[in-house]
Each structure stands twice: as C-alpha cells, then as structure tokens.
Structure 1
Amino acid sequence: MGVCHASAAMSLIRGLVSTLYCLPKVYKWFYRPYYSMSLLMTVAFPIVLSCPGLCEYLPSQREDSNSCAFDWREVEILMFLSAIVMMKNRRAITLEQHIGNIFLFSKVANVVLFFRVDLRLGLLYLTLCVVFLITCKPPIYMGPEFIKYFSDSTIDEELQRDGRVTWIVEFYANWSPECQTFAPIFADLSLKYDCLGLKFGKVDIGQYAAAAERYKVNPSPLCKQLPSLLLLQGGRELMRRPLVDMKGRAVGWNCTEENIIREFNLNEILQRCKKFSKGEKPEEPKTLLPEAPELEQPHEEEEEEEPESKKDK
C-alpha cells in the first residue's frame, strides 16, 4: 500500500511540475467554456466538501463525524485515480491529451465520491456530466496550416490530377478525441513539409462516408483506425498508418510527429520533390507496402546446338 501511495504521489508531483512549466499556454485555455467548465467539474467534490453551510449536512463515515474533511477511503480513491492518470499519460502525445486524461478520470472519481456520500448527489453530478458531454465540445484546432480539405467527390480528381505530386491524406472525424488531439500535429507537419511536390489533405469521414469506404478506412470507434494517414501518389496508395490486421482492427501505433517523419520518410520525399520545384522530373517513389513474393520463374532450358556430324574419313 505504501509503494502505491508513493507512486501516486510522484505522479501528482510530475503532473504539477509539467503543468507549471506549461502554465503560460495552459491559462489561455480556461478562457474557453469547455476547459473552464471541465476544471469546475473536476474539483466539484472538494468544493462541496469544503463549502461552509453545506458540508455540515453531508453524511460522513469518519469516526469523528467530520463531514467537511476527506476520510481514508476517499483519499485512497484519489490516490488510485492519480495512478491511473499516470499510466494513461505514458501514451499521451500532447499537453492537450495529458489535461484531457486528468479531466476524464477526475470526473469518474467525482461520480464515485458523490455516490458514496449520497445517492442523490451522485445522480445529480452524473446528469451534469451527461449534459456537459452533449452540449460542450472540445474546441477545434483553428491554427495555421497548409492543408486541402476534400469531399468524397473531389478527392479522387485532385489526387490523380498530377502523378508527380505525393499526397499525405488524413482520414478523420470531428467526434473523435484522437483526431482532435492530432490536428495541431498534422498542421505543423504541413507547415514544415508542404512544397510543390508534397501536399497534405484531410477528409472528414464522419461527413463523407463514401470516401472512407472507397479507401478502406473503418470509422467505427471499436476498430480504432482514426486518425488514419495514407501516403498516395497518382491515386495509388503507397502506405498507411496505422496498419490494419486481418480482423479489420488497427495495429497499435503512436501518431507522433517523430514517428510520422521517420516512417513516411518525409525528409527523403521532401528532397526528391525539390527537383519537381526546379522543373526536373522527380524519381518515382518506392512502393512502401509489403510486396508480394515473386513466383519463381522456371529456368529456360538452353538450346543445345546439335553437334556437327563428323565427315566420314
């Protein structure tokens, strides 16, 4: 138990330090209703527990009957929450994901704590969470980018317009938290690598389902294929991430900026496309999909020359 508490305390300290480090960026978020309301709901239970004139009427399981302080079971719940947040944040890519994980699991802990204190308070808080989820959406990224947005009727025409242009197309959905988190990363890549021979595009498959079906991207949350990145040239797919297994489910892959640059060979593609900007014909990119094994060709039998018949002596 002591080891668990120490680990949880360390995770809280790390989270506090990283939050203070990014404080100049974080405080701007709370001007937005989504983040300010999320923060309020995150600290709802401590506010109720420390509110004079209200906490005295809450039922308490403490031996001293002090309903305005945390009991040992509530402290354990909070410590367990911090351990879960630490584990989830190991795979978080951006600061938005770190903060989002804290908001999510804090609300879960608040539900448990309110139900433990009083059933009516638990139901009230759970109802507020549902209303918040329906009415308040995370803000969509609106920063600078060099990205062309496609519909299901324009994507094929644009991708096949010039066979020398390589496209990186993101298939996304606005309802997906992973896609919302990935939006600034993809925008930053477009600012760094966009050129005459390398372009970036996006398709909202929540709105254009025909494009998702045509390019074999499953929008179901159970398949975890969103966001999907496809490298295309002349309408031909060269590679995609994440890969999809035989059951149609995505193979685990972290869509960080470093992984995309490395696995999509963006630096190499950029150097090749500079020839395109100079008016030279760039080299054809190598197909990055696994190639089918070539069938062994039968050896052609060499035609043996007929030996010349010896003349009769």
Structure 2
Amino acid sequence: MSFKQDLKQLLKPYYIFNILLSLSYVFLKRMPGLCNYIFASDTCEFEGRETEILFFLIIVIAMRTRKTGSVSMINYLSSSFIYTKIANLILWFSADFLMGIIYGIIFILGALIFPEPTYSGPSNVIYFRDLQGLEEELSRNKKTTWLVAFYTVWNPACVTFAPVFAKLSTEFHLENLRFGKIDIGRYPEAAKKYHVNDGSLSKQLPTLILFEDGKEVLRRPTTDTKGKLISFLFSDDNIKKAFGLNGVYENCRNELKRSNKLHHKSD
C-alpha cells in the first residue's frame, strides 16, 4: 500500500477514533489548562510511573509489530492500537478511577461502533463456511493444490495479512491452484483438526497450510525439532519463498496444459 493510500485509509472513522483514544492521556496530560483542570495538578509533567508505562508501551509495540509482520504505516497502527489503548486505560485508572471507567466505556463502545475496515480489493480467495466444506473441497479433486489461511477476524496479524494473501491469490490463481481461508474463531473444529491454537495470545495466527493431493505438505509457522514454534514474517516475498509458489505455479500450469491436451485428444 502506498503512502498516499495510507493517508486515505487514515481518514476512515476506525483510524481517527483509535488514534484519538491512543493519544488521549498524553495529549490531555501535556495540555496546559486542561491538564490543570482534569488532573488537579499545578504542573503538566509526567510522573515517574507514567513515564515507565509509556516507555514499556513503546517497547511492547516495537516487539509485537515486528512479530506480526507489519510493513506499512497502517499495519503498524493496526497492530499497536490494542496496546496503546490498554496502556491508556491503565494510566487513566491510575490518575482517576472515574476517568478510567469512562475511558473503558468509550473503549468498548468504539470497538462496536467503529470496527476495523476489512480488505475490499481484488481477490481470488474462497471462504470456507465450516470444516466440512474445507474437507469436501480438498477431497473433491486431489489434483488441485490448495493454499489455505487459518485466521480470526479479531487478530491484528490476520487483518494485516489479508491484503497480502489476496494479492497472492490474484497473482498465482489457476484452475488447479486455488486459495482459501477459514475463520477458526467461528469454526474452532477446524483449528482442532489442523492443530492451530486460536487463543487470544496465540502465535499461530495466521497459519498458512499448503495442501497437495488433499494432504498437508507444508505450513507456516511451523515448529522446530523440540516442538518450539518458529516465528514467521508473513510478507509477500517470504511466503513465495517458503512455499515455493513460483515452482508450484509452474508445476500446476504444466499439469493443466497436459490435462487439456489429453482432453482434446480424447475428443
């Protein structure tokens, strides 16, 4: 996404609302007049505990956005909003219990009124409605290769990954090379079947699995020999390299050509 597109995206209510919530404490604490009234203080300076919380917040955001593969301004913001709002909630409760309650109510109402915008660009992705639909599609034609994303709608990393996966689906789609997604938040049986942790602290979201002949052949993220999860950056280039998409595409295209030739000969 270009910088111009990022700026256009920032004008959407979700981003405006969350930026205001994320900056609320710092802005009001440093604003003369408002600071003196709201915090009943003669000075508009941060106290030691407030400074510690803000520094800790910066460190957490830097670490988490790196793990989620955020590569643009919008992705960084989407990944950091939850942490900045929680930090603000702690700061408001520390300053005044009533203000903390008010902030918490606004926090919850904002999440309901202004949901995060979903990707709406070009895509060749099929959304499976349940585990049975996925299983049926995998077994319907075992000559079709599937790349399937296991995701949840509430996870920032999954939201960030959506346009990347959509772009790949338009670039590599073939009749026998297809792209699918299944929401394991709605269909936890799929998470259980394919051993994907769908918990709020899960490091397996999203999980991308390549199926050939109806069977899993490769997934990311994966585990090492000790069973420890190996982190994976879900960027366009990393996915192409890890799954060998260029080679998979060529193999599927050649197989498709052979199949069409045999079909024409039989006619």
Please say whether Structure 1 and Structure 2 have the same fold, judged by a TM-score greater than 0.5: yes
Alignment partners' CA distance in 1, 2:105 and 2:199: 26
Alignment partners' CA distance in 1, 2:219 and 2:136: 20
Deviation of the 1:185 alpha carbon: 1.0
| Residue of 208, 221, 235 corresponding to 1:256 | 235
Residues 245, 113 of structure 1: CA spacing in aligned structure 2 closer, same or farther, 3 A cutoff? Answer: same
Q: Which residue of 1 aligns with 2:76?
A: 98
1:70 aligns with 2:53: no
1:43-90 Cα offsets, whole Å, 9 max, x none, are 212443466764332322xxxx23xx3246355654453344334343
Alignment partners' CA distance in 2, 1:80 and 1:215: 35
Which piece of structure 1 moves more, 257-266 or 95-104?
Answer: 95-104
| Residue of 148, 163, 168 corresponding to 1:184 | 163
1:169 aligns with 2:148: yes
Corresponding letter in the other structure for 2:70: I
Higher Cα radius of gyration: 1
| Residue of 187, 196, 205 corresponding to 1:208 | 187
| Residue of 35, 39, 58 corresponding to 1:82 | 58
Corresponding letter in the other structure for 1:175: W
1:148 aligns with 2:126: yes
Alignment partners' CA distance in 2, 1:190 and 1:243: 22
Alignment partners' CA distance in 2, 1:249 and 1:208: 25
Alignment partners' CA distance in 2, 1:37 and 1:197: 43
**Which secondary structure does the structure 1 equivalent of 2:108 belong to?**
helix
Structure 1 spans left out of the alignment, 5+ residues: 1-20, 282-313
TM-score, normalised by the number of residues in structure 2: 0.80
Residues 24, 107 of structure 1: CA spacing in aligned structure 2 closer, same or farther, 3 A cutoff? Answer: same
Q: Which residue of 2 aligns with 1:59?
A: 40
1:115 aligns with 2:90: no
Q: Which residue of 2 aligns with 1:48?
A: 28
Deviation of the 1:186 alpha carbon: 0.7
Deviation of the 1:244 alpha carbon: 4.8
Aligned 8 A contact 2:127 2:180 in 1 = yes
Q: How many residues are treated as equivalent by the alignment?
A: 255
Q: Which residue of 1 aligns with 2:246?
A: 267
Alignment partners' CA distance in 1, 2:15 and 2:193: 37
Aligned 8 A contact 1:97 1:181 in 2 = yes
Corresponding letter in the other structure for 1:94: V
Alignment partners' CA distance in 1, 2:195 and 2:47: 52
Structure 2 spans left out of the alignment, 5+ residues: 261-267
Identity of aligned residues (%): 35
Alignment partners' CA distance in 2, 1:28 and 1:173: 25
Q: Which has the higher helix share?
A: 2
Deviation of the 1:23 alpha carbon: 4.4
Aligned 8 A contact 1:111 1:125 in 2 = yes
RMSD: 3.0
Deviation of the 1:212 alpha carbon: 3.3
Alignment partners' CA distance in 1, 2:247 and 2:196: 26
Alignment partners' CA distance in 1, 2:230 and 2:254: 35
| Residue of 1, 19, 34 corresponding to 2:14 | 34
Corresponding letter in the other structure for 1:25: Q
Alignment partners' CA distance in 2, 1:70 and 1:105: 22
